[in-house]
Chain A
């Protein structure tokens, strides 16, 4: 079965600094990789999705992620953090059969003014 590991359950960055949230998937390449964001008391919102069309995926709100097969990684980045980026971020993969999602444990991002 697929699995996802998010390194760092809590990440703090200063406003304007680079945001880097790490995600590694299990060794077999999943069909799709996702990053979701969850704001307090809300559901998840899709930030971006990798579908093998391009290794660098651009998402909403200035976020992007790069798929690196050699490193089995799909890290999320944003050049300059805003206060509004403070939230919980989840990396997810689809199963090889496309019939399930597997989520990471989440990374809570704090942006320091």
Chain B
């Protein structure tokens, strides 16, 4: 099986712009979750989507949003970028059937976002 893929792998934006990141889960997986990894804050959970619905959410401002399509692919959008949004954004997929924190999460390689 192909693993979780994320595109693009690297991205450079300027403050105030918006950005969209994409995540394709493992075939058959219906849950996609997103995480932000920074040197200062570490790994933080953003949100989880299951069957096109946001099922769980972390503590991030509304500038961070996402969606999931019928084929389980997911996108994450960050509007009005700030310098502090520079991070590695990871997505993970799982079957989603047993529950978000019960299923094993399979992570993609991440998208490295740099905000100038």
Contacts and interface: CB of A to CB of B under 8 A. Distances in A.
Interface of A: 31-32, 41-46, 49, 51, 90, 92, 94-95, 98-106
B92 A31 contact: no
7 contacts: A32-B102, A43-B110, A46-B105, A98-B100, A99-B48, A100-B45, A106-B42
Interface of B: 4, 35, 42-45, 48, 55-56, 58, 90, 92, 99-102, 104-105, 107-110
Given A32-B102, A46-B105, A90-B43, A100 B90 contact: no
Contacts, number: 52
A90 B104 CA distance: 15
B107 A49 contact: no
A1 to B, nearest CB: 9
Contacts of A42: 109-110
A42 B99 CA distance: 25
Contact of A43 (B99, B104, B109): B109
B56 A49 contact: no
Contact of A99 (B4, B35, B101, B107): B101
Nearest to A105: B42
A100 B104 CA distance: 14
Contacts of B48: 99
